[in-house]
Amino acid sequence: MVLKDVFKRPLLDLRISVTDRCNMRCRYCMPREHFDNNHTYLPKSDILSFEEIVHVVESLLPSGLRKVRLTGGEPLIRKDLHKLIQQLRALSPELDIALTTNAHLLSNSIELLKQAGISRITVSLDAVDTDVYQAMGDTTSTPDTILDSIDKSLALGIPVKVNTVVQKGINEHQIIPLITQMSSRDVPIRFIEYMDVGATNSWNLDHVVTGKEMRTLIEKEFGTIQSIEPDHPSDVAREYTTRSGSVIGFIESISNPFCGDCSRARLSANGSIFTCLFATKGFDIRGILRMDASKKEISKAISSIWSQRKDRYSETRSEKTDSERIEMSFIGG
Ligand code: SAM
Ligand code: SF4
Ligand code: SF4
C-alpha cells in the first residue's frame, strides 16, 4: 500500500546521506570558519552501514518507493560506495539509483559505479571560470577536472545532469558560459535558487537570484525559452528548452515553491528520517535497526512518521531564519 502523508503526498523518493563530511567547503553550504578542525563530525560507529541502509530501502519498496539518491556531504568520500549501489541494485532492477556529487573523485570511481548499476548522476558545478569556482567552493580544484569527469560518465552511457547554485553578485555571469558548456555535451543544467538551509551560511534574501531573473538573463542571450511539461509532478526542477534544444531547469525553492507535490524523505548518515529539508528534528530509526528490526517493523515505523507529515516549509517561509535548522551537509542535499 502506498504511503501518504497528511496532504496525501506519497513517499516516492529517499535521499540518503552516506556521510556528513566533504572535500569542499562551498561558502553557501559548509563555510570553512564553521566546518574547520573544531567541527565535530559523526563518529564512525554512529554512521549507518551499507547493510542497514539497504534494509531501510528494502522495507520501503512495497509501499511505493521508486527512487533513491545517494548524497551527503560528499558521497564519493565514503569508502567503497559502489558496493552500496551493488546491494541496492540487487533489490530491484527498476529502482532509480541516483548520485549527487561534486565530482572531485568521480573520474577514478566511475567505472565501478557503472558496473554496480547506477542509474544517473547529478554533478554540482557552480562556474566554469576557475577563480569563481575556487572562490565559491573554497577549493584548489578546477572546473576542468569536473568537466572531464562529466565527459567520462557520458562516455560510459551514464545520464548526467548538472546543478548550479546561483548567488547574486557571485556567479550570475557564469550562467551563460555554463549553458554553453552543457549544451555542447547535451547535458541538462538546473539552476538552483540559493536557499536558507542550515544556520551557518549567513543566508539573506538579497543574495538570491530568482528563477525569473535568471530566465530574463538567458532569454537576452538565447531568445525565448519554452517551458516543458514535467515527467512527474514531484520533479523539483521546472524545465525549459532553448530554440536550439538545450534543456535548462530552475529549482525555485524561494520564489516558486513546490511543496505541494513533495514526495521526498531524507535519511541522515546516522539513521534519522527527516521529512523536510528544513526540518529542525529527525526521527531516529537507527535504534530499531540495531535491535534487529524486521523489514515490516522498519516500514511500520517510517509509515507512522510519514503519515503525520505536514511539512511545507518553502510555502510558508518568512525572511526570519531559524537558527536550529539542520545543515544540508548533514541532512543530505
Ligand atoms: N556534495 C555533493 C554535491 O555538492 O553535489 C552532494 C551534497 S550537496 C549538499 C547537494 C546539493 O545541494 C548541491 O548541488 C549543492 O549545490 C546544493 N546546495 C547546498 N547548499 C545549498 C544552498 N544553501 N542553497 C541551494 N543549494 C544548495
Ligand atoms: Fe560539499 Fe556539496 Fe556542500 Fe559543496 S555543496 S560543501 S560539495 S556537501
Ligand atoms: Fe519538500 Fe520541505 Fe522542500 Fe517543501 S520545503 S519541497 S516540503 S523538502
In a domain, 5, yes or no: no
- pLDDT for the residue numbered 319: 46
For residue 69, the number of C-alpha atoms closer than 13 Å in the C-beta half-sphere is 20
- pLDDT for the residue numbered 322: 54
The pTM of the full predicted model, rounded to 2 decimals, is 0.96
Q: How many domains does the chain have?
A: 1
In a domain, 184, yes or no: yes
The 10s digit of each residue's pLDDT in 273-321 is 999 998 889 999 999 999 999 999 999 999 999 999 999 988 887 645 5
Domain that holds residue 46: 13-331
Look up residue 186 and give its DSSP letter: T
In a domain, 174, yes or no: yes
Ligand 2 centroid–CA 292 distance in Å is 33
- pLDDT for the residue numbered 199: 82
In a domain, 37, yes or no: yes
Low pLDDT (below 70) residues in the chain:
318-323
Counting from 1 in the atom list of ligand 3, the atom nearest the Cα of 315 is: 4
In a domain, 304, yes or no: yes
φ, ψ at 97 (rounded to 5°): -115, 105
Ligand 3 centroid–CA 257 distance in Å is 8
Is the distance from the beta carbon of residue 189 to the nearest atom of ligand 1 less than 6 Å? no
Is residue 123 within 8 Å of 160, Cβ to Cβ?
Answer: yes
The CATH number that applies at residue 110 is 3.20.20.70
In a domain, 106, yes or no: yes
- pLDDT for the residue numbered 318: 63
Counting from 1 in the atom list of ligand 1, the atom nearest the Cα of 122 is: 5
Q: For the purposes of burial, counting CB atoms within 10 Å of the CB of 61, is it exposed (0-12), middle (13-18) or buried (19 or more)?
A: middle
- pLDDT for the residue numbered 152: 98
In a domain, 192, yes or no: yes
The 10s digit of each residue's pLDDT in 29-40 is 999 999 988 899
Contacts of 213 (CB under 8 A, 6+ apart): none
In a domain, 217, yes or no: yes
Counting from 1 in the atom list of ligand 1, the atom nearest the Cα of 329 is: 9
Ligand 1 centroid–CA 291 distance in Å is 33
Is the distance from the beta carbon of residue 165 to the nearest atom of ligand 1 less than 6 Å? yes
Q: Which three cell numbers stand for residue 217?
A: 538573463
